[in-house]
Chains A and B, each alone.
Chain A
Amino acid sequence: MYVLGWRGVIREFFRYKSGVVGFALLMFLVGLAIFAPLLAPEPIFYNWYVPTYWSQQTLPKAAPPEWINSFSDKKFAVRQVLDPINSYESPSAYNFTFIYNYQYDIPTYDIYFEIDSSIANNSKMLMLVDLIRPDGNKIVRLIDLKIDQPFVRISLRSLEESIRKIFGFGLAYESEETRKNITERGLLKVLNPMNVIFSSTGEGIVFGKTKPLKGRYQFNVVIFKINPSNKVNQIKMIVTGSVYGLLGTDALGRDLFGGVVWGSRIALIIGLGVAILSTLIGVVYGTISAYVGGWVDEALQRIQEFVISIPVLPILLIMAYVLSPTVWNLIFLLVIFSWPGPVKTIRSMALQIREQLYVLSAKAIGLSTWRVITRYILPQILPYTFALVAFSVPGAILTEAGVSFLLGSQGTLEVTWGRILNDAEKYSAVLTGMWWWVIPPGLMIALAGLAFVLVGNALDRVLNPRLIR
């Protein structure tokens, strides 16, 4: 390194393919971590485990990513926010007409109505929605609801009365046997009402087995004022679609892209934090052990061997119950168990440097042990520690992910890749084929590890004197 100088090191580093690829991956990750607030709004991070926040976001649940439509022959409905194409106010009521043009194969997850109104105290309005399908069939009073708050968000799927009405419409086309079977076995709860609305009539409509019915769906909304001073300011219809964003949503309707992006920040903080701290401790420890020698060396070596043979995971699990599970505590615990890693290598390097002439002369002129170590030996070892840091990041990230995966809600409070995978496992995402919930977080863990391994590999070849040929 002193032969090459900083510029030389950088030039040498990029001569290796692994250096270039590793650096590119690393920049990608660091970019994600730094620009997380721009890529995914901050409330996503703070409210990841707040169900009420996610129920307000009107996202479809368990929805695959949007780009799946380019690869699949069955098209998924996309998210649409509709304004009324027609509105009419009479002294007693409002009339709104929404037209939803459905040209897909897999219907939307849910339909929301958002109503912003001014309501007099202790008064109510009455909302009725009729649906006219493209084939001319009608579902009258699909929604029949009282509005008593200035802002309401109505989810069609959460209205039991509406769901009963939808299935009532569908069951009329089923055979007597199926009808009996379904009601007796209580199957209605597991069937998707949206399939009934958006499928053509015929046997099998309640299971969504008939052809999708494409065309214009007209929603006629009537809101009765009841009190003349009540006013509707704005009304919107939100079709959630059945695909969402870059990485889709999970079973609770959380935007997985947000989770993966914010998870990169935590992963990098933990990975780098643990790697830097434990390498620093290991380097100083190994150097002192080698330089001082004698019984101190013996004792320090025994302590290191002791710590390195403690199994990390069981201890970490049990500690998580004792300490509060914050990111900082996790870093602290991981450092306690990972500092012995580099000690042996550093010690053998320091043993060689100790015998160098300039160190001996420094000792001879009476410099203190501490001064010799910090001014004469450590600077020689320091360049190599960059590679050591890079090599110990993947281990830290993997352990963190494993602990988060195993501990779930008892692990760190922040959203991490491991916790997203824990949720996926709890909701058996694999068995329901929700690959978009499982692949991205794990791939990020693997990529983060790979980035540091590649960088470490290139650094090692440039900086480790033993490998230079």
Chain B
Amino acid sequence: MGLAKYVSYRVVNALIILFFVLLITAFLMNKYMEDTIKTDIENRIQQEVYRNPKYARLSTEQKEQIAAQKRAFYYAKYGLDQPYIIRVLYRAYDAMTFNFGKAVTLRSSSGSSYVTDIILEALPRTILLFTTATIINIILGIFLGMKAASNIGSLLDRSISTFAMFTYSLPMWWTGILFILLFSYMLNLFPSGGMISVPPPSGIMHYVDILWHMALPLITIVFVSFGGWAYMTRSIVTNVLTEDFVITAKAKGVPERKILYGHVLRTASPPIVTSIVLSILGSLSGAIITEAVFSWPGIGRLYWMAISSGDMPVVLGLVYITTFLYVFAVLILDLVYGLLDPRVKVGTV
């Protein structure tokens, strides 16, 4: 597979997944939206016909006739008279253009009830929290993993392996709850949730305040995941360290640090990128729930609120948009992999 073929294959794969999720979303959204539109129409007919003083003198049958006419009119107006397949395709088109209609009860902070507005407001906050966490994880994980690999069997190496094993089975969101209990309820060090104090401070303090609120969720995410990342880096690097070119470099007298961060890391980075992709995939659900626990007003909190208040349009919008972002992120990382791994260019993978 050459690079072009590799890229096109990845893109097609991503598109298929999006299409698949789109269909499910459209299918569910259609049923839900039609139900709401129908009750809406019935309410309007009640208002316009049965409670209208203009028709007050008419007999029940005449009223029903007018109501039926109105109903047919509204059904045509909202496309409910179209065949089922067409209606579902409409919804698919809606989802594709990020038009998820209006939320039932949730509102954005500016008061908009459009699902897209609500989600777009929450999205940057999620990205802020998780990109920061991921960057810390990558730096900490790769650094510790390399250290451990260059000293197999050392105290650091053994403690990283044990720590990784412990945190592997720890639910990230529950760790978050524990940290809130410990650091904000008992020790009163950090706020228990939210993103900014009320009333919000101004100037530079505004950003300091956000950082202070972000500290605890950040500590939680990093605490639970960096062990796994370090362990993973360690095993990949250990394998690379046994290869001939490392021994050659050593024999030539290249300094240890240079071998480790120059030669070895360069070779080890493609599999590390793959593993990063896989562990981001694995931690997504935990991360969403963790956000909900910390009342961080991003996507995860929105999931929690939408589910507990039964706001279907928001749930559907969230499912589609998270899948979209997720598939997009995986695609980007896959392409990075393609650029990093020389074998992809030559076409041996």
A370 within 8 A of B: no
Q: Kindly state whether residue B168 has any CB partner on chain A within 8 Å.
A: yes
State the Cβ distance, B337 to closest chain A Cβ, in Å. 13
The digit string for A399-417, where 1 denotes a CB below 8 A from any CB of B, is 1011101111010000000
Q: Is the CB of A450 within 8 A of B327?
A: no
Cβ of A312: which chain B residues have Cβ within 8 Å of it? 284-285
Please state if B13 and A305 are interface contacts (CB–CB under 8 Å): yes
In contact, B169 and A317 (Cβ under 8 angstroms): no
Nearest 5 interchain pairs by C-beta: A449-B169, A313-B285, A442-B174, A314-B319, A450-B169
Q: Across the interface, which residues of B come within 8 angstroms of A311, CB to CB?
A: 281, 284-285, 322-323, 326-327
Within 8 Å CB of A398, what residues of B? 169, 171, 286
**Which residues, 85 to 115 on B, are CB-close (under 8 Å) to A?**
none
Contact yes or no, B181 A438, CB < 8 A: yes
Q: Which residues of A contact B (CB under 8 A)?
A: 18, 302, 305-306, 308-315, 317-318, 321-322, 394-395, 398-399, 401-403, 405-408, 410, 421, 424-426, 430-431, 433, 435, 438-439, 442, 445-450, 452-454, 457
**Which residues of the other chain, A, contact B165 by a CB distance below 8 angstroms?**
18, 450, 453-454, 457
B16 touches A (CB below 8 Å): yes
Q: Which residues of B contact A452 (CB under 8 A)?
A: 169
Partner among A306, A410, A442 whose Cβ is within 8 Å of the Cβ of B177: A442
* Measured CA separation A431–B293 after assembly (Å): 12
> Given A306-B16, A309-B17, A322–B178 Cβ distance below 8 Å?
no
Query: How far apart are the CA atoms of A433 and B182 in the complex, in Å?
Result: 10
Knowing A318-B316, A442-B174 touch, does A402 contact B289 (C-beta < 8 A)? yes
B315 proximal to A (CB < 8 A): yes
Is B163 in the interface zone, CB < 8 Å from A? no
Report B348 CB to chain A, min CB distance, Å.
Answer: 16
Residue of A nearest to B300 (CB): A406
Show 17 residue pairs from A and B whose CB-CB distance is below 8 angstroms, ordered by the A residue: A311-B284, A311-B285, A315-B21, A315-B24, A317-B303, A317-B315, A318-B316, A321-B28, A322-B28, A406-B304, A426-B308, A430-B180, A431-B192, A442-B175, A450-B166, A452-B169, A453-B169
Q: Are B322 and A314 in contact (CB under 8 A)?
A: yes
B173 / chain A contacts, CB cutoff of 8 Å:
402, 405
Among residues of A, the one whose C-beta sits closest to the C-beta of B170 is A446
Minimum Cβ distance to chain B for residue A221 (Å):
42
Chain A CB within 10 A, most for which of B169, B284, B327: B169
B178-208 Cβ-contact flags toward A at 8 Å (1 or 0): 1011000110000010000000000000000
Q: Which of B14, B171, B308, B330 counts the most A-chain CB atoms under 10 A from its CB?
A: B171
Known contacts A310-B17, A405-B289, A431-B185; is-contact A317 B177 (Cβ 8 Å) = no
What's the tally of chain B residues with a CB closer than 8 Å to chain A? 48
Q: Considering the chains assembled together, what is the distance between the CA atoms of A398 and B285 in angstroms?
A: 10
- Interfacial chain B residues near A431, Cβ < 8 Å: 185, 192
Q: Closest residue to A406 on the B side, CB-wise? A: B289
B5-28 residues at the A interface, CB under 8 angstroms: 13-14, 16-17, 20-21, 24-25, 28
Q: How far is the CB of B305 from chain A (nearest CB, A)?
A: 11
**B148 lies within 8 A of chain A by Cβ:** no
Cβ contact of B181, chosen from A322, A435, A447, A449, cutoff 8 A = A435
A401 to B285, Cβ gap below 8 A?
Answer: no
What's the least CB distance linking A191 to chain B, in Å? Answer: 23
CA gap between A313 and B286 in the complex, in Å: 9
Complex-state Cα separation, A426 to B309, whole angstroms: 12
Known: A395-B282, A405-B289. A318 touches B315 (CB 8 A): yes
Q: Evaluate whether A407 and B284 lie within 8 angstroms (CB atoms) in the complex, with A310-B17, A314-B319, A453-B169 already known.
A: no
User: What DSSP secondary structure best describes chain A's contact surface?
Assistant: helix
B307 in the interface (beta carbon within 8 A): yes
CB <8 Å contact, A438 and B177: yes
B288 within 8 A of A: yes
A439 to B, closest residue via Cβ: B178
Alpha-carbon distance between A243 and B165 when the two chains are bound, in angstroms: 35
Q: Is the interface of B mostly helix, strand, loop or mixed?
A: helix
Q: Which residue of A lies closest to B25 (CB)?
A: A318
When distances are taken between beta carbons in the complex, the residues of chain B under 8 Å from A430 are: 177, 180-181, 185, 192
Measured between alpha carbons, how far is A302 from B221 in the docked complex, in Å? 32
Chain B residues with CB under 8 A of A448 = 169
Q: Which residues of chain B are within 8 angstroms of A439 by Cβ–Cβ distance?
A: 178, 181
Given the known inter-chain contacts A322-B28, A445-B171, please indicate yes or no for A317 contacting B307, CB distance below 8 A.
Answer: yes
Distance in angstroms from B3 CB to nearest chain A CB is 18
CA distance A448 to B170 in the complex (A): 10
Given A306-B13, A322-B28, CB of A406 within 8 Å of CB of B307: yes
Contacts of B13 in A (CB 8 A): 302, 305-306, 309
- CB of B330 within 8 A of CB of A410, answer no
Contact among B21, B177, B319 with A421 in the assembled complex (CB-CB below 8 Å): B177
Asked, given contacts A318-B316, A433-B185, whether A306 binds B17 with beta carbons under 8 Å apart, the answer is yes
Q: Are A421 and B174 in contact (CB under 8 A)?
A: yes
A317-B174 in contact (CB<8A): no
CA of A460 to CA of B105, assembled, Å? 51
* Residue B230 is within 8 A (CB to CB) of chain A in the complex: no
Within 8 Å CB of A318, what residues of B?
Answer: 24-25, 28, 315-316, 319
- CA gap between A308 and B175 in the complex, in Å: 26
Which among A309, A310, A406, A448 has the highest number of chain B CB atoms within 10 Å?
A: A309
Residues of A near B293 (CB, < 8 A) are 425
Q: Which residues of A contact B237 (CB under 8 A)?
A: none
Q: How far is the CA of A450 from the CA of B21 in the complex (A)?
A: 33
Complex interface: chain B residues within 8 A of A442 (CB): 171, 174-175, 177-178
Q: Is B119 an interface residue (CB 8 A)?
A: no
Q: What is the bound-complex CA distance between A306 and B10, given in angstroms?
A: 10
**A141, B121: Cα distance in complex, Å:** 59
Question: In the complex the two chains form, is B178's CB within 8 Å of A438's CB?
Answer: yes
Q: A398-B169, A445-B174 are in contact. List 11 more A-B contacts (CB 8 A).
A: A309-B327, A311-B281, A311-B327, A314-B319, A318-B316, A318-B319, A394-B169, A402-B286, A402-B289, A430-B181, A457-B165
Tell me, rounded to whole Å, the shortest Cβ–Cβ distance linking B279 to chain A.
12
Q: How far is the CA of A431 from the CA of B186 in the complex (A)?
A: 10
Assembled-state Cα–Cα distance A403/B286 (Å): 10
Asked whether any CB of chain A lies closer than 8 Å to the CB of B133, the reply is no
A395: B residues at CB distance < 8 A: 282
Given contacts A421-B177, A431-B192, is CB(A314)–CB(B318) below 8 Å?
Answer: yes
Chain A residue with Cβ nearest B9: A302
Closest to A310 in B: B17
User: With the chains together, A435 CA to B177 CA distance in Å?
Assistant: 10
Q: Which residue of A lies closest to B169 (CB)?
A: A449
Q: Once the chains are docked, how many angstroms separate the CA of A299 from the CA of B169?
A: 33
Interface hub of B17, B186, B292, B307 (most chain A Cβ within 10 A): B307
B28 close to A309 (CB less than 8 A): no
Q: Which residues of chain A have C-beta atoms less than 8 A from B177's C-beta?
A: 421, 424-425, 430, 438, 442
Q: Are B192 and A402 interface neighbours, CB within 8 A? A: no
Which residues of chain B from 322 to 347 have a CB within 8 Å of any chain A CB?
A: 322-323, 326-327, 330
Closest partner residue, chain B, to A395 (CB atom) = B282
**Shortest distance between the CB of A227 and any CB in chain B (Å):** 52
Min C-beta distance of B94 to chain A, whole Å: 16
Q: With A and B bound together, what is the CA distance between A203 and B73 in angstroms? A: 72
Contacts A402-B286, A450-B165, A457-B165 given; does A410 touch B171 at CB 8 Å? no
